[in-house]
Amino acid sequence: MTDVKNVTAAILIIGNEVLSGRTKDANLNWMAKRLTDLGIRLKEARVIPDVENVIVSAVNEMRTTYDYVFTTGGIGPTHDDITSACIAKAFGAEIHRHPEAKALLEAYIPADRLNEARLKMADVPVGSELIENPVSRAPGFRMENVFIMAGVPSIMRAMFDSLAPLLTGGAKVMSQAVATYLPEGAVAEGLGQIQDRYPDADIGSYPFYRDGKFGCTLVTRTSDEADLATAADEIRAMIIALGGEPIEQDMVSGSAEDEDGDDFDTGDKKK
Amino acid sequence: MTDVKNVTAAILIIGNEVLSGRTKDANLNWMAKRLTDLGIRLKEARVIPDVENVIVSAVNEMRTTYDYVFTTGGIGPTHDDITSACIAKAFGAEIHRHPEAKALLEAYIPADRLNEARLKMADVPVGSELIENPVSRAPGFRMENVFIMAGVPSIMRAMFDSLAPLLTGGAKVMSQAVATYLPEGAVAEGLGQIQDRYPDADIGSYPFYRDGKFGCTLVTRTSDEADLATAADEIRAMIIALGGEPIEQDMVSGSAEDEDGDDFDTGDKKK
């Protein structure tokens, strides 16, 4: 057990285009890994449309529930970019044209092209701090525990790198994954018993189908190093007792591996 | 304007592994496109952990807010598969072993391997109907307006195909996309004026960077065919007036195109 605070976060993905299916979100998984590596537990992610009351209420719900909130999308120059105004409304703050943000745009965009729409990208709620955007200059911003970033992945990632030093992580969740070519249904009972013995760990089973064979990856996640090692040992022993072979997966944090997402368990299929 | 009902939906992605970053969700975008094609408006998607009270309250909030709710994940045989129990709790229903689901498993899994963990996959809330799973047999289920599916993409897709005939779409949202190599900041003002003239349409601007040039795709979405055509004409005329060239994008529904998600607008960058 650890007495380090659990630090939590939520992600709010703002954009009609993700909900219509036109754009495939590419930010959630990237941020999830980064947060895990920083010792911050992502507890919720939500995709919502460009609708003021929906954005305002989601922001207010999340910022009072989680330690950190990260938003993506809606901070460009067009009429459908309403995130900054919504953040101001959520906090009951006024919007102002941030002098430093304006200067950044003035230094980057020729004067004859710096129209009102583009200058709108310098409008942020009073009380917010800018987040640097090394890619295209127009900054993100931080309002208390809410970090507002662009939706375009290359810009979002650069902004996240800019703000990461401001984040304070808690107990880092480590994970250990052991795979085996036994189907989930075969390990379920023993795995549940191991979970019962490690109530502070989070043990998950992720089925896969690979090279014509069914199997599952059994992942232990905990911030307690001793529990991590002994729970993984028990999982290996269980696999061997069931006639399987434990296959080590090299994971030092929860973020080391991508599943291809197309694995499954069918039990020991007849035929 | 149309008097066909707007039919709405939400997606609930249940799984610690998506929030830890270990698994990249591959279901949201696929379902978003399918729903758009069916005339169903996806209004929200949420990723939540395998935690009972979180699942129960999200299900209850969504099923009373939207016409349809689709869940993915947590219906396998292991201890961390708690979705069915949570759905029962959300509806105040008992869980029972569905005879038809049990028969499906019995026909598929050899008797000596059909243990209690696997049989758990036949346990569904009283009052629910099964959703066929042609991939690995263990069914999903429908409880009123909530459709419970597996998280593994190949199985989820097969289940969605099984349940799609049960869905009733509303006014289908059509979309028309016109791209141009003008940056967002240049079209913002004119685009906002066009949006003002078409209050029932949803006009979005999606910046991109392609072949070393900045541009944006301007997408009109509406269920009114006449509005769609005239708004798109106004967008083309605006692009030409600004010295740009309209590039038609062949989209008959909101789902026809994937952006690569790494496009952006930097304004007319100096140097």
pLDDT at A121 over 70: yes
pLDDT at A26 over 90: yes
CA atoms within 13 A on the CB side of A1: 3
CATH topology of domain A174-249: Alpha-Beta Plaits (3.30.70)
Calculate the dihedral angle through the C-alpha atoms of B71, B73, B75, B79, rounding to the nearest 10 degrees: -130
DSSP notation for A4-60:
SPPEEEEEEEE-HHHHTTSB---SHHHHHHHHHHTTEEEEEEEEE-S-HHHHHHHHH
Mutate to test the interface with B, among A78, A172, A193, A262 (most CBs of B within 10 A): A78
Question: For residues B77-88, b (16+ Cβ closer than 10 Å) or e, as one string?
Answer: bbbbbbbbbbbb
Q: Find chain A residues with C-beta within 8 A of B29's C-beta.
A: 18, 21, 24-25
Please indicate whether the domains covering B7-166 and B174-249 agree at the CATH topology level: no
Nearest CB to A264; choose among B152, B188, B206? B152
Closest chain A residue to B42, measured at CA: A19
B33 interfaces chain A, CB cutoff of 8 Å: yes
pLDDT at A271 over 80: no
C-alpha separations of B264 from A153, B214, B249 in Å: 9, 7, 18
C-alpha separations of B161 from A160, B46, B66, B103 in Å: 38, 22, 21, 22
Report the pLDDT value the prediction gives residue A265, as an integer from 0 to 100: 36
**pLDDT band (50, 70, 90) for residue A5:** confident
Sheet hosting strand A129-131, strand order edge to edge: A129-131, A140-143, A146-149, A68-72, A7-14, A40-48, B40-48, B7-14, B68-72, B146-149, B140-143, B129-131
Distance from CA of B268 to the nearest CA of A (A): 6
Chain A residues 45-74 with CB within 8 Å of chain B: 45-50, 54
Q: Do A19 and B269 touch (CB under 8 A)?
A: no
B189 interfaces chain A, CB cutoff of 8 Å: yes
Nearest CB to B188; choose among A78, A221, A257? A78
Do the beta carbons of residue B113 and residue B103 sit within 8 Å? no
Calculate the dihedral angle through the C-alpha atoms of A177, A181, A185, A187, rounding to the nearest 10 degrees: -50
Q: In whole angstroms, what is the distance from residue B71 CA to residue A221 CA?
A: 24
Higher local confidence (pLDDT), A264 or B231: B231
Provide the token pair at B232.
């798109």
Do the beta carbons of residue A179 and residue A247 sit within 8 Å? yes
DSSP 8-state code for residue A137: S
Residues ≥6 apart with Cβ < 8 Å to A160: A31, A34, A70, A149
Distance from CA of A40 to the nearest CA of B (A): 10
| CB atoms near residue A84 (< 10 Å) | 22
Digit-coded pLDDT (tens) for A160-197: 999 999 999 998 999 999 999 999 999 999 999 999 99
- Tell me the Cα Rg of chain A: 23
pLDDT at A267 over 60: no
Q: Find chain B residues with C-beta within 8 A of A204's C-beta.
A: 16-17, 50, 78, 80
Do the beta carbons of residue A192 and residue A244 sit within 8 Å? no
Name which of A38-47, A239-248, B2-11, B119-128 the model is least confident about.
B2-11
A270 interfaces chain B, CB cutoff of 8 Å: yes
For the segment A221-237, the average pLDDT, to the nearest whole number, is: 96
Amino acid identity for residue A32 in this structure: A
B152 interfaces chain A, CB cutoff of 8 Å: yes
pTM, full prediction: 0.91
Closest chain B residue to A14, measured at CA: B44
Provide the token pair at B20.
């830890």
Sign of CA dihedral A83, A85, A88, A92: negative
Provide the token pair at A34.
């980064």
Report the pLDDT value the prediction gives residue B207, as an integer from 0 to 100: 85
Size of interface A-B (CB pairs under 8 A): 297
- CATH number, span B7-166: 3.40.980.10
- Number of helices (H), then strands (E), belonging to chain B: the values are 9, 12
Q: In whole angstroms, what is the distance from residue B198 CA to residue A122 CA?
A: 27
For the segment A242-266, the average pLDDT, to the nearest whole number, is: 55
Q: Find chain A residues with C-beta within 8 A of B262's C-beta.
A: 26, 152-154
Provide the token pair at B171.
């006014």
**pLDDT band (50, 70, 90) for residue A70:** very high
Q: What are phi and psi of B14, to 5 degrees?
A: -105, 115
Q: pLDDT by residue for chain B (271 residues), tens digit each?
A: 444 579 999 999 999 999 999 999 999 999 999 999 999 999 999 999 999 999 999 999 999 999 999 999 999 999 999 999 999 999 999 999 999 999 999 999 999 999 999 999 999 999 999 999 999 899 999 999 999 999 989 999 999 999 999 999 998 999 999 999 999 999 999 999 999 999 999 999 998 877 778 889 999 999 999 999 999 999 999 999 999 999 988 543 333 333 444 333 333 444 3
Q: Are strands B202-210 and B247-249 parallel, antiparallel or unpaired?
A: unpaired
Q: Find chain B residues with C-beta within 8 A of A138's C-beta.
A: 266-267
Averaged confidence pLDDT in chain A: 90
A119 interfaces chain B, CB cutoff of 8 Å: no
Mutate to test the interface with A, among B6, B12, B18, B23 (most CBs of A within 10 A): B23
Q: Do A269 and B36 touch (CB under 8 A)?
A: no
Q: In whole angstroms, what is the distance from residue B25 CA to residue B15 CA?
A: 10
From A103, A94, A147, select the one nearest A121 (Cα to Cα): A103
pLDDT at A2 over 90: no
Chain A residues 224-253 with CB within 8 Å of chain B: none
Tell me the domain boundaries of chain B.
7-166, 174-249
Q: In whole angstroms, what is the distance from residue B163 CA to residue B154 CA?
A: 15
Report the pLDDT value the prediction gives residue A211, as an integer from 0 to 100: 79
Query: In which residue are the tokens 């942020």 written?
Result: A124
Q: In whole angstroms, what is the distance from residue A128 CA to residue A137 CA?
A: 17
Nearest CB to A16; choose among B24, B188, B202? B202
Report the pLDDT value the prediction gives residue A62, as an integer from 0 to 100: 98
Query: In which residue are the tokens 């009123």 written?
Result: B144
Q: In whole angstroms, what is the distance from residue A8 CA to residue A67 CA?
A: 5
Q: What are phi and psi of A239, to 5 degrees?
A: -60, -45
Report the pLDDT value the prediction gives residue A250, as an integer from 0 to 100: 57
